[in-house]
């Protein structure tokens, strides 16, 4: 490989300088090498860059084309541009100090005229990525297939009314699984952006869900057949681009996976902005996934409270992230998952430096949230409050209820003869909110 000159010549690798620094291109909280509980911060947080936003995002919106112009986006052929772009990407991964990245097949390699041509392009870029991974030590957190941009997928991929499209999507995912496997990907993600409907007038909902389940079973079988050990992940989202997406949120995803015998093969990749689009908090979705032992990975971003779509912003809301980190740490962490910045620059943020400010801000916010969450857990005040709040289920008839050892007849007798009227206790919400602020703001 010829050594390319720098694509970010003015930016040095981002260093940790501590909370007091005035340098806007330094970490204030994220110290990748700091050891916490026997593991480095880098190992705890497992940050990842999303190739599609960082290196394919142009700032285009429905009202105008891209504003973000990168010097490496021109060249002899789509393939040579794809390779130079990937060189730039890996230079960025190194300078921003992320250990991981994620991609869709079509992010890294151009679509060809036929599936065979697309596959050949992908193979070339996978070889290029392999060399860059080896040279830099950056790893693949997950791969996925883009089954939503091309017009063939306008009515869905696995839920398309035409079996021909289903077959094409299967062939594409086969190749994307091969690519992810070849690059040592630690997970593989399914986000069904077009797996849903615009109107029930033209949709057989039950049949489409059956087909989606068939598709995922085929994916499980194929992944196993090639020896792929990574975790398979479903990424729920309620809507956008489709009016109604079948894996609306974690709860409906769990019901779907259980119904079709898929639950043991999948976990969830949770995205902050998808949670809020579904009318939930980020922490809610984490708690639901954790309750089912299915917390897999995080697409780290944020929505805008005033806008009703997936704005995919970098999250600097430390309070929201501290609550999320408490739930993640209590659940035992993310395992093979990580914190992937599925987040994009605003349309006017056109400088290469903005890519750095955005990511380092997100990393610092998560690092600070991680430290706050560890403090909250170590102090045990919230946990103590919860334990006390539910203590009546720890002994006596409460324990018998939890263990399902009593029924309505016994409880009826107990209340009439012995317990009488319950004495309500305060939920203490305001007290707890104040306590939380003490951790977040000191």
Residue 144 binding ligand XLS, by CB under 6 A: yes
Q: What is the spatial distance between Cα 202 and Cα 50, in angstroms, rounded to a whole number?
A: 35
Q: What is the dihedral of CA 355, 359, 361, 365, to 10 degrees?
A: 170
- The nearer residue to ligand XLS, 104 or 371, going by C-beta atoms, is 104
Of the candidate spans 83-91, 247-255, 266-274, 350-358, the one that interacts with Ni ion by CB under 5 A turns out to be: 266-274
Exactly one of 91, 247, 342, 364 binds ligand XLS (CB under 6 A); that residue is 342
| # binding residues, ligand XLS (CB under 6 A) | 11
Nearest CA among 267, 399, 380, 394 for reference residue 326: 380
Which residue in 87, 195, 247, 271 binds Ni ion (CB under 5 A)? 271
Instruction: From 148, 146, 164, 231, select the one nearest 196 (Cα to Cα).
Output: 148
Q: Which of 105, 107, 299, 342 is catalytic?
A: 107
Strand pairing class (196-197; 244-245): antiparallel
Please count the residues of this chain forming the interface with Ni ion, following the rule CB under 5 A: 4
Written as six digits, the tokens of 258 are 């259980």
Residues 65-124 that bind ligand XLS (CB under 6 A): 104
CA–CA separation, 301 and 340 (whole Å): 8
CA 190 – CA 297 distance, rounded (Å): 12
Question: Which of these ranges, 34-42, 154-162, 302-310, 347-355, lies near Ni ion under the rule CB under 5 A?
Answer: 302-310
From start to end of 184-313, where are the E strands? Answer: 187-190, 196-197, 231-234, 244-245, 266-271, 295-299
Report the site for ligand XLS in 213-252 (rule: CB under 6 A). 235, 237
Pattern of binders to ligand XLS over 164-183, x per CB under 6 A? --------------------
Q: Give burial (CB, 10 Å; 0-12/13-18/19+) of 199.
A: exposed
Nearer to ligand XLS, 30 or 188 (CB): 188
Location of structure tokens 């007091």:
20
The nearer residue to ligand XLS, 84 or 313, going by C-beta atoms, is 313
Piece of the chain touching ligand XLS by CB under 6 A; list 78-86, 188-196, 275-283, 368-376: 188-196
- Name the residue number minimizing CB distance to ligand XLS: 191
Considering the complex, state which of residue 91 and residue 235 has its C-beta at the smaller distance from ligand XLS: 235
Determine whether 441 is an active site residue: no
Residue 192, φ and ψ in degrees, nearest 5 = -100, 70
In whole angstroms, how close is the CB of 336 to ligand XLS at the nearest point? 16
Out of ligand XLS, Ni ion, none, what residue 230 binds, judged by CB under 5 to 8 A for its kind, is none
Per-residue mark of binding to Ni ion, 311-350 (x: CB under 5 A): -------------------------------x--------
Helix boundaries (H) for 137-187: 163-182
Which of residues 84 and 276 has its CB atom nearest to Ni ion in the complex? 276
Tokens of 391: 């203590």
DSSP string of 12-26, one letter each residue: PPPEE--TT---TTE
In the list 287, 310, 320, 364, the residue contacting ligand XLS (rule: CB under 6 A) is 310
User: Of 343, 324, 256, which is closest to residue 292 (Cα–Cα)?
Assistant: 256
Q: Is 104 a catalytic residue?
A: yes
Asked if 17 contacts 27 with a C-beta cutoff of 8 angstroms, the reply is: yes
- E strand residue ranges, 81-129: 100-104
Q: How far is the CB of 133 from ligand XLS (least distance, A)?
A: 20
- Residue 83 near which of Ni ion, ligand XLS, none (CB within 5-8 Å, type-dependent): none
Q: Which of 29, 53, 104, 359 is catalytic?
A: 104
Under a CB-based contact definition with an 8 Å cutoff, are residues 276 and 232 in contact?
no
Q: Which does 247 bind (CB under 5 to 8 A by kind): Ni ion, ligand XLS, none?
A: none
List all residues 6 or more positions away from 261 whose beta carbon is below 8 Å from its beta carbon: 217
Q: Contact residues for ligand XLS (CB under 6 A)? A: 104, 144, 189, 191, 193, 235, 237, 271, 299, 310, 342
Residues involved in catalysis: 104, 107
């Amino acid at each position: 490989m010829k050594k390319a000159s720098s694509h970010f010549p003015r930016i040095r690798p981002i260093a940790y300088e501590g909370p007091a620094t005035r340098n806007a291109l330094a970490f204030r909280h994220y110290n990748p090498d700091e050891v916490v509980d026997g593991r480095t911060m880098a190992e705890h947080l497992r940050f990842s860059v999303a190739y599609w936003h960082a290196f394919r995002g142009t700032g285009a919106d429905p009202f105008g084309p891209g504003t973000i112009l990168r010097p490496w986006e021109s060249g002899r052929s789509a393939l040579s541009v794809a390779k130079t772009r990937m060189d730039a990407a890996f230079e960025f991964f190194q300078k921003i100090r992320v250990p991981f990245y994620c991609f869709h097949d079509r992010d890294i390699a151009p679509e060809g005229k036929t599936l065979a041509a697309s596959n050949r392009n992908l193979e070339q870029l996978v070889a290029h990525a392999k060399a860059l991974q080896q040279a830099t030590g950056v790893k693949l957190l997950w791969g996925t297939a883009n089954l939503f941009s091309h017009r063939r997928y306008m009515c869905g991929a696995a839920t398309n009314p035409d079996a021909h499209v289903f077959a094409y999507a299967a062939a594409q995912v086969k190749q994307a699984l091969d690519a992810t496997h070849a690059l040592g990907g630690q997970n593989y993600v399914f986000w069904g952006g077009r797996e849903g409907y615009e109107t029930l007038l033209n949709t057989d909902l039950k049949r489409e869900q059956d087909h989606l389940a068939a598709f995922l079973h085929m994916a499980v079988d194929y992944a196993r057949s090639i020896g792929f050990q990574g975790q398979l992940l479903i990424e729920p989202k309620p809507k956008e681009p489709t009016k109604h997406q079948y894996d609306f949120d974690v709860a409906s995803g769990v019901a779907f996976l259980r119904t079709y015998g898929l639950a043991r093969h999948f976990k969830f990749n949770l995205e902050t902005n998808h949670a809020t689009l579904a009318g939930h908090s980020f922490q809610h979705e984490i708690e639901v996934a954790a309750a089912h032992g299915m917390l897999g990975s995080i697409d780290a971003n944020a929505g805008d409270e005033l806008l009703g779509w997936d704005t995919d912003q970098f999250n600097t809301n430390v309070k929201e992230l501290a609550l999320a980190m408490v739930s993640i740490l209590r659940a035992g962490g993310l395992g093979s998952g990580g914190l992937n910045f599925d987040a994009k620059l605003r349309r006017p943020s056109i400088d290469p430096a903005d890519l750095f400010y955005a990511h380092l801000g997100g990393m610092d916010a998560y690092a600070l949230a991680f430290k706050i969450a560890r403090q909250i857990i170590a102090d045990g005040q919230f946990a103590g409050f919860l334990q006390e709040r539910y203590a009546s289920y720890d002994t006596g008839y409460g324990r018998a209820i939890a263990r399902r050892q009593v029924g309505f007849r016994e409880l009826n007798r107990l209340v009439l003869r012995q317990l009488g009227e319950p004495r309500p206790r305060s939920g203490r919400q305001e007290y707890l909110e104040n306590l939380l602020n003490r951790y977040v703001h000191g």
